[in-house]
Amino acid sequence: MADVKPRVRVPSTASAGETIVIKTLINHTMESGQRKDSSGNPIPRQIINRFTAEFNGETVVDVELEPAISTNPYFEFEATVPETGEFKFTWYDDDGSVYETTSEVEVS
């Protein structure tokens, strides 16, 4: 889908073993497949069906999304960071598109 832009907010620094709050947001219509257009034809489903977050290759969250989830899905979760590394966030679209972004955390 055009113009889909992931956004994340991750602290750039943390102390070892600290639990940090991560916020993510992606703009997406999350078309449920249940609606009809003005001429009565069903609008095909197109949603983000999966969201994952990894830290240095290790899974932090892996979420399966369903059609009832609202437009522009927002996730907020906590993660414990043992060492300096990189978060990788991935959103999977029904149309096969994959949206990715990464974020570095420096642990002191």
Partner 1 sequence: MRTTTLKSGAAVIAAGAILASAAWADPFMDDTLIVNGEIEITTVAPAPDHLEGALPELISGWHYRTEETRDMERDDFDNPAMLYVEQAETVWNTVEGDAGESCASCHGGPEAFEGFWAAQPKVNPADGTLWSAEMYINDCRENRMGAEAWGWDSQPMKNMTALIASVSRGMPMNVQIDGDHAPYWERGKEIYYTRYGQMELSCANCHEDNNGNMIRADHLSQGHINGFPTYRLKQANLVSRHNRFRGCIRDTRAEPYAVGSDDFLALELYVASRANGLSIEGPAVRN
> By CB under 8 A, which span of 10-18, 50-58, 70-78, 81-89 interacts with partner 1?
70-78
Q: Which is nearer to partner 1, 84 or 101 (CB)?
A: 101
Residue 7 lies near partner 1 (rule: CB under 8 A): yes
Distance of closest approach, residue 24 Cβ to partner 1, in angstroms: 9
Residue 23 lies near partner 1 (rule: CB under 8 A): yes
Sign of the Cα pseudo-torsion (97, 36, 63, 21, in order)? positive
Residue 77 lies near partner 1 (rule: CB under 8 A): no
DSSP 84: S
**The pair of three-digit structure tokens given for residue 88, joined into one six-digit string:** 């990788």
Residue 34 lies near partner 1 (rule: CB under 8 A): no
Residue 74 lies near partner 1 (rule: CB under 8 A): yes
- Distance (Å, rounded) from C-alpha 27 to C-alpha 93? 12
Contact present, 59 and 12 (Cβ < 8 Å):
no
